[in-house]
Structure 1
């Protein structure tokens, strides 16, 4: 047995005795050492090396925001560690076998350092490691089997590095890997060839890279993938079968790309998709049946689509299970067709903040089913057309809708107004409907009557002439009849009275 090993054992034994005696006097300045929970926190403590005077029984060691440049032999004193955080330090390299004695370690955070390379021996000894965070370092490539000695690894974060090359066998041995971050690197193509080795992968983040096209079958081998993040990647083209095989995908993030149209046919492969985030793209409208085939979609988020102006009726005709629609900060969106959101029996939350809506038709959605509506920060024009919204605001959970116009109502909450404030002659919507219906019916009736008279004007005129002529003829005949009876006949009868003999009636005939 060498002198070094003997010395190490003596120090470990001494520190353990101190721990059992009631505490460790060597807790560094600026650190918090708790011998009951076995937690040591040394944040912003200006440490440049890993301390060796801590309780050997510690299980959680946090050394964030210090000036540590390397991982030395100090870790051999702390064999019960389960969690180590060395993020935000100045680590340039990790010597081989630095973690040889950390067989219980489950989480290792090395993010925000200056590591430019790691090998398949860097993490030797970490048999129980489930989480490895290497985010925000200077890694440039992933060689074959680089993580093969981590059989229990479930989450691997390699985001915000400079990775441009990934060996097809880089993820060999990671049979338990569930979450992988490869976002914000320099990948020129989707690393499809490396995916089949990760058959258990459930979550993949691969946005903000140098590729702008998703070819057919680019996620082949990831049949168990549940969440896919492709945001901020500058994607302009998605091939017809790019998502083929992702039969279990439930969450997809396509935000902040350069899509000019909703990729309707490409998305139709994702029959189990429940959440879609697709804002910050360049499409101008949501067309009819834009999300066709997504029958299980429950949440749609379109935020920051700077060119979006119009949403057509029937856009969600295939999405009967939608529960939440988020349309936020679309600065040109002012046209929502009547009935565009009708026919969604499960819609509960409608978020329409920071758009360009001046008004909103009552028939745009089945309001009775909603639990929450957000309309803040829209240039709302408060007139009688919004009387229905005023009534709804008193019944539903609405965020504070403020008027932008007219001038006398600017910045006033809609809830504080009355029907008179909105310029409505009749406050009761039923009365308005009756009056409008009567006026429309009267107008239609008059129009039909006018059209009838115009079309048959000649016949009407002839009929009137005949009526007047017949009336005059009858009057003349009556006049002649009356004149004949009263003058000629009377004179004749009077003259004959002197000529005709008077007949004597016998008494016996009486």
Structure 2
């Protein structure tokens, strides 16, 4: 009997030791972590040196918000059970592995942040996010927001979202996506309730249509800090419902009337830090009748915006043109009195009648600011506040406008000369090739042994 009791106690001690190795001791956890909150039970265990998760949650009878930021949890084990709504934060934890079904005991998890970890494509799987097993099937989890930003993921497994039918927000920023491959396309095609997709800071050169064509509820798409040369044509798949689009910090060098064709639902558009962009052409934004906010900041080579870039109809209320290289701004560009926010600082503007008329149309809430944009007076080369210009500036002939017109004229001539030079070069090359082939043919003909045709006369060869 004593031997049996000894064995049982030994087994319990061993199990307890192993449990301590897998889970952090949850006794008196609120003495080590911060606990509290009124509407939610907040458990903050950030930067506590944890290598594992807790064995149990503290007692709670409302939504649990548990934060474990800046720990060293290499493997995220199966989380302790809870029947309440759960929101989890595990950023900056050096997580490399996820236990299969690590969320199965917290099926009411709505939010999980796994950003800034070491997860790879090879280590994530649809099995990891499966819910509780019941009657030979896996039940779905209530997850609405999944943050996988700044990991090492280059592709998603096909069935990755199989247990997340309620997912509304997906953050894949700062990963290793060079393209949205077939597996990723298949995975994204299953999240039909997705409303926000963040693909910023990857290496994408295109937006594959099959990856987004089933996202019929998507309202916000972030493609900033990729390698896009053009505005993706595939955006027209989202044209009836997309509201917010961010294309900042890409290599886009051209914005024309076809750039946003088919995405007329957009209300907010961000086109900041496009270093190759020089000109915005006619009707670029004319196909965006619902546009309320446009950000065109930090485009260091943007020198001009066509006076008809917005077409005849615009509902624009916020316009940000800070830190470009704009030399002029046409008064007929848009209806300035509609603007509630307008930023124009840090450009190369010359004071002219257009700026005076724009100032006169702008709302007083904008023009009364003392730290507004400045321009250079062509009469004195001195800097002046745009919002303090007077009507006498309209009598001044613009020198920069003439220079800019000459530059555009020169650019046109340059393009024509390049085209003519290319045509002349091709014609010369063809002429030289034809001459060379004829020369080769003539040389071969002269070197032939029988240069004169031998004629046979049957009469002269008959016996007489």
Question: With structure 1 as the length reference, what TM-score do the two structures score?
Answer: 0.64
Distance across 1 between alignment mates of 2:95 and 2:26? 21
Out of 353, 371, 381, the position equivalent to 2:340 is: 371
Given that 2:160 and 2:187 are in contact with CA atoms closer than 8 Å, whether structure 1 keeps it comes out as no
Given that 1:140 and 1:163 are in contact with CA atoms closer than 8 Å, whether structure 2 keeps it comes out as yes
1:86-97 equivalent positions in 2, closer than 5 A = 86-94=45-53, 97=55
Distance across 1 between alignment mates of 2:35 and 2:373? 59
Distance across 2 between alignment mates of 1:393 and 1:363? 13
Inter-CA distance 291–79: structure 2 relative to 1 (3 Å threshold):
closer
- Structure 2 gaps of 5+ residues are 1-22, 132-139, 398-464
> How far 1:70 moved relative to its partner?
5.2
Structure 2 counterpart of 1:147: 103
Distance across 2 between alignment mates of 1:423 and 1:79? 69
Given that 1:127 and 1:151 are in contact with CA atoms closer than 8 Å, whether structure 2 keeps it comes out as yes
CA deviation map 1:59-93 (0-9, x unaligned): xxxxxxxxxx9544223999998211111332222
- Give the count of matched residue pairs: 354
Matched, 1:74 2:43: no
Structure 1 counterpart of 2:89: 133
Given that 2:222 and 2:245 are in contact with CA atoms closer than 8 Å, whether structure 1 keeps it comes out as yes
Distance across 1 between alignment mates of 2:63 and 2:318? 43
Out of 239, 244, 249, the position equivalent to 2:218 is: 249
Give secondary structure in 1 for the equivalent of 2:234: helix
CA deviation map 1:274-320 (0-9, x unaligned): 11111100011112121122121111111111211121212223211
Structure 2 counterpart of 1:17: none
Distance across 2 between alignment mates of 1:402 and 1:114? 51
1:427-442 equivalent positions in 2, closer than 5 A = none
Inter-CA distance 189–391: structure 2 relative to 1 (3 Å threshold):
same
Inter-CA distance 79–162: structure 2 relative to 1 (3 Å threshold):
closer
- Structure 1 gaps of 5+ residues are 1-68, 426-510
Out of 94, 99, 116, the position equivalent to 2:57 is: 99
Distance across 1 between alignment mates of 2:109 and 2:326? 49
Distance across 2 between alignment mates of 1:395 and 1:153? 49
Inter-CA distance 79–272: structure 2 relative to 1 (3 Å threshold):
closer
CA deviation map 1:318-355 (0-9, x unaligned): 21111111111111111211210133332222111111
Inter-CA distance 312–268: structure 2 relative to 1 (3 Å threshold):
farther
Inter-CA distance 137–80: structure 2 relative to 1 (3 Å threshold):
closer
Distance across 2 between alignment mates of 1:361 and 1:79? 58
Distance across 1 between alignment mates of 2:125 and 2:94? 17
Matched, 1:183 2:139: no
Distance across 1 between alignment mates of 2:317 and 2:166? 34
Distance across 2 between alignment mates of 1:322 and 1:385? 23
CA deviation map 1:445-490 (0-9, x unaligned): xxxxxxxxxxxxxxxxxxxxxxxxxxxxxxxxxxxxxxxxxxxxxx
Out of 32, 41, 44, the position equivalent to 1:85 is: 44
Structure 1 counterpart of 2:112: 156
Q: Provide the aligned C-alpha RMSD in A.
A: 2.7
Give secondary structure in 2 for the equivalent of 1:328: coil
> How far 1:129 moved relative to its partner?
4.5
Out of 375, 389, 397, the position equivalent to 1:417 is: 389
Out of 84, 102, 117, the position equivalent to 2:75 is: 117
Higher relative contact order (CA 8 A, sep 6+): 2
Structure 1 counterpart of 2:452: none
1:264-283 equivalent positions in 2, closer than 5 A = 264-283=233-252
Distance across 1 between alignment mates of 2:99 and 2:175? 19
Given that 1:328 and 1:353 are in contact with CA atoms closer than 8 Å, whether structure 2 keeps it comes out as yes
Give secondary structure in 1 for the equivalent of 2:356: helix
